[in-house]
Amino acid sequence: MSWSFSLPVRIEFGAGKVSGELGRLLEGEGLSNGLLISDLVFIKNGLADQVVEASKGRITGVFSDLVPNPTVENVDTCSGLVRERGYEFLVCLGGGSSLDCGKAVGSLCKTQDSIREYMYGKKTFGPGHLPLIAIPTTAGTGSEVTMVAVISDGENNKKMPVGTPNFYPDLAILDPRLTLSLPPSVTASCGIDVLSQALEGYWSRNHQPVCDACAIRACSLVFEYLERAYKDGNDLEARTAMCEASLLAGIAFAAPKTSGPHVCSYPLTSIYHVPHGEACGITLDSFLRLNKDAQGGRLHQLAKMIGRQDACELADDILALKQRAGLRCRLSEAGISEGNIPSLVKECHHPNMALNPVEVTDEILDAMFRKLL
């Protein structure tokens, strides 16, 4: 096996990191005149103001014109604001929406283009980008340690990942206290996203030992702590463990990339409006059963390492976990009928599907989706 690994992201982890150390960290990086890109909810509940205050005057503006699953328009508008006002660094506060938007803006602001031109391969980014600090408030996306941003294009009804090394944050600050206010539904959806990222990274055709180790640890943490965090949002030990799991899952798929469940999630989110993590989870146990004997039975080995008899028992436990966490497990629960299956299969044609260890044909997807109705 030949492989390489690089993670150009400095990681600061711990409860109270943001309120107690953000100003010092920004000063240490020599950063001033920054823009905070924040989910709107944190403008309303005051967390954004707390982050601005903790920056000790180094954050001078706020952008919150974002929707869940950031759009071409969100990214283009924010990029124009950065150019107009001359911001010199970006701080992204929130879930995947703010982080994905900020990653794209950090490079796009060095151009006069729309992000749409980079979503479909018409253009590629040059080396220029603004320094980026990621402060995740969910335990699920792993976006703080990846070079991928997922952008929604409403004009073409597509949700597309865009990837470039420019998108790696320079600094990730993970503060479990920021996740205490997450509602149970978001906790569950994000937690299943962690599990999807870890398993997809592990079974990817591009898997490698460093990412494998992170995947195994992430899976173990999810099964031990997700239900605790779901049932009691103030359980700081569980929240801390899920933040660790999210970080490790992000590393687990950063190089190998995701495959089947994530590819299938894009149309489930863009067309049927299923939240991202929940959308990944709908097909996760089905893909695990499909892949269980591939690569010399590696998934059976993983299952045993986290206390299951084999990959089939692991798939059963994933389904049960989704059910206990109130997540949709069937396509029909998302409003999908038999007549929608052919078009859904076509929407799942994406290069990352080739990373699945078992070749995924239209016939396999059709059968999988019909079984999930």
pLDDT tens by residue, 15-25:
999 999 999 99
The predicted pLDDT at position 96 comes to 85
What's residue 185's pLDDT? 96
pLDDT, residue 250, reads 95
> Nearest to residue 25, comparing CAs of 1, 59, 2, 49?
59
Q: Residue 229 in contact with residue 235, Cβ under 8 Å?
A: yes
Whether the pLDDT of residue 367 is over 90: the answer is yes
For residues 227-241, average pLDDT: 98
pLDDT surpassing 90 at residue 103: yes
Length of the chain: 373
Domains of the chain by residue range: 10-178, 183-371
Q: Which DSSP string do the residues of 81-148 spell out, in sequence order?
A: HHHHHT--EEEEEESHHHHHHHHHHHHHTTSSS-THHHHTTS----S----EEEEE-SSS--GGG-SE
Task: Indicate the pTM of the whole model.
Answer: 0.93
Mean pLDDT across 214-243 = 98
Answer whether CATH 3.40.228.10 is correct for domain 10-178.
no
Percentage of the chain lying above the pLDDT 90 cut: 92
User: What number of other Cβ atoms are within 10 A of residue 40's Cβ?
Assistant: 15
Q: Tell me the HSE value of 207 on the side-chain side, using a 13 A CA sphere.
A: 23
Of 91, 84, 85, nearest in space to 53 by CA: 91
Q: Residues 50-62: what's their mean pLDDT?
A: 97
Query: What's the pLDDT score for residue 158?
Result: 87
Q: What is the mean pLDDT of the chain?
A: 96
Q: What is the CATH architecture assignment of 183-371?
A: Up-down Bundle (1.20)
Q: Specify the pLDDT at position 1.
A: 82
pLDDT of residue 151: 95
Give the pLDDT confidence of 126-153 residue by residue, as tens digits.
Answer: 988 999 999 999 998 899 999 999 999 9
Residue (of 204, 201, 225) closest to 213 by Cα position: 201
pLDDT in tens, 272-300: 999 999 999 999 999 999 999 999 999 99
